[in-house]
Amino acid sequence: MGRKLLTEHINVEGIDTFDVYRKHGGYRSVEKAIKTMTPDEVVEEVKKSGLRGRGGAGFPTGMKWSFLAKPEGVPRYLVCNADESEPGTFKDRQLMTKLPHLLIEGMITSSYALGARTSYIYIRGELLYVLRILEKAVAEAYAAGFLGKNILGSGYDLDLHIHPGAGAYICGEETALLESLEGKRGNPRNKPPFPAVSGLYARPTVVNNVESIAAVPVIVNEGGNEYAKIGIGKSTGTKLISACGHVKNPGIYEIEMGVPVEEFIYSDEYCGGIWKGRELKAVVAGGSSVPILPKDLILKTAAGEPRLMTYESLSDGGFVTGTMLGSGGFIAMDETTCIVKNTWNFSRFYHHESCGQCSPCREGTGWLEKVLHRLEHGHGQMHDIDLIVNVAKQIEGNTICPLGEAAAWPVTAAVRHFRDEFEWHVTHPHEATRPGAVYHGGLVLA
């Protein structure tokens, strides 16, 4: 049983209230940081912890913090990215619903480290009911003197506000999020300048994922070095994994980095295997954007080593035989899953969610959806398979924000690993469109 750094108390009755949360050691990191540490010392602990951004990119959080510009007399902001929208990912929703005070504690301690006097949590609009939970918790934190003026008599002031989006995957991209927070369309900004220099209201801003912020209290309490002892290499600490699709026990699991993928899928401590006694066919390990891998390659690397739940192990082999940990949105697919249909579904998603600013993405995602639709529905030609790879390659790297890559990678990976299934859709259009018929490993399952 691994250590639970974030979720140890998540099922304690009333843990969503200030009093119960406080009784279980809540808000200690705020006291420790504000009373005994300078802001720079807090940043130093986060650097030592090796914590990497939990939203998907995996960029070291402490380093991101150290880039924040600090011109005299100019306000700076911390914005929490709670726009959880990457298909397969639902960890932040669970964390905020059940442990709202953990996020708020993390926001206070982090804001202190960064010298922010006003901070925001930008939560996706669909989660308005979670916004209400957070607002209640924020009100409790104000009443207890952990927010507002002169926190704990230290002279440090902080206001924390919760801000809803309104339905747009793109607002999970940090500059689109900032545009949205300013009351505009969520169009990503050209970079540079990066938010660390010119972010919210053109002020220096740090944007961090919910889970990253939620890890700050334990890092401050136990020290960055202690945190870094958990995990393997540059994958330190614990990670929340959202398990979904065809696993027997879908849900959120807090794992120590380094759990073997095979154990994660098949152990009763985690997913409990594949539902209905079926075979695993493929996994999308880090949210819909990351390359899909067939069973053999998700369980073992191309070199035959067991694949581990770490940033490095999952990306072993690059995109040829590897994938990414991403956001930890772990989507398992059983043998009855049609890879072509699934790829079309994801392409429709990215087409729907493209903001439309950059032509390669706006037009390319539409092409991907359209061509995949005809392949799935038995109207495809053999050259369509190369066409979607070609279109994906022309989107990749040619857009302002990473939505382009996010749309391209699932397509190129699906063709790379399941080309025969795409070809079968072209050569056997009648069979491929028969309800329930699925191509799997050279066999047709009816």
Partner 1 sequence: MTATAPLQFSLAAQAEIKRLLTHYPPERSKSALLPILHIAQAEFGGWISSEVQDLVAETLGIKPIEVYEVSSFYTMYNLKLVGKHVLEICRTGPCMLRGSDELTEQLERITGAKVGGTSPDGNFTLKEVECLAACGFAPVVQVREKYYEQLNTPEAVDAMLDELRNLVHRPILSWEENGLQNSLQTAASV
- For the chain, give percent helix, strand, coil, nearest 5: 45, 15, 35
Q: Indicate whether 335 belongs to the interface with partner 1 (CB under 8 A).
A: no
Going along 175-328, which residue ranges are E strands?
Answer: 205-209, 231-232, 235-236, 238-245, 251-256, 280-284, 293-294
Q: Is the Cβ–Cβ distance between 389 and 411 less than 8 Å?
A: yes
Q: Indicate whether 127 belongs to the interface with partner 1 (CB under 8 A).
A: yes
Q: Which one of residues 14, 25, 167, 397 is an interface residue with partner 1 (CB under 8 A)?
A: 167
**Nearest approach, Cβ of 357 to partner 1 (angstroms)?**
11
* Buried/exposed 89-109: b ≥16 CB within 10 Å, e otherwise: bbbbbbbbebbbbbbbbbbbb
Q: Is the Cβ–Cβ distance between 161 and 121 less than 8 Å?
A: yes
- Closer residue to partner 1 (CB): 45 or 84: 84
Q: Which one of residues 48, 136, 278, 373 is an interface residue with partner 1 (CB under 8 A)?
A: 136
- Closer residue to partner 1 (CB): 47 or 54: 54
Binders in 346-405 for partner 1, by CB under 8 A:
346, 349, 352-353, 355
Q: Site for partner 1 (CB under 8 A): how many residues?
A: 75
58 SS3 class: coil
Binders in 302-321 for partner 1, by CB under 8 A:
none
Question: In this structure, are strands 235-236 and 231-232 parallel, antiparallel, or unpaired?
Answer: antiparallel
With tokens 């929208």, the residue in question is 85
Q: Which one of residues 27, 65, 169, 409 is an interface residue with partner 1 (CB under 8 A)?
A: 169
- Closer residue to partner 1 (CB): 61 or 342: 342
Q: Which one of residues 268, 276, 436, 443 is an interface residue with partner 1 (CB under 8 A)?
A: 268
DSSP single-letter state for residue 293? E
Residue window 10-29: x/- pattern of binding to partner 1, with contact defined by CB under 8 A: xx------------------
Binders in 170-199 for partner 1, by CB under 8 A:
180-186
Q: Which one of residues 333, 391, 411, 415 is an interface residue with partner 1 (CB under 8 A)?
A: 333
Q: Which stretch binds partner 1 (CB under 8 A): 128-136, 216-224, 293-301, 401-409?
A: 128-136
- Closer residue to partner 1 (CB): 53 or 250: 250
Residue window 283-302: x/- pattern of binding to partner 1, with contact defined by CB under 8 A: -x---x--------------
Q: Which residues contact 275 (CB under 8 A, 6 or more apart)?
A: 246, 247, 248, 334
Q: Is the Cβ–Cβ distance between 284 and 410 less than 8 Å?
A: yes
Q: Which stretch binds partner 1 (CB under 8 A): 6-14, 56-64, 191-199, 370-378?
A: 6-14
**What whole-number distance in Å separates Cα of residue 344 and Cα of residue 372?**
5
Q: Is the Cβ–Cβ distance between 198 and 190 less than 8 Å?
A: no
- Closer residue to partner 1 (CB): 87 or 380: 87
Identity of the amino acid at 399: T
Tokens at 382, concatenated:
């053999």
329 SS3 class: strand
Q: Indicate whether 422 belongs to the interface with partner 1 (CB under 8 A).
A: no
Binders in 59-98 for partner 1, by CB under 8 A:
84-90, 92-94, 97-98
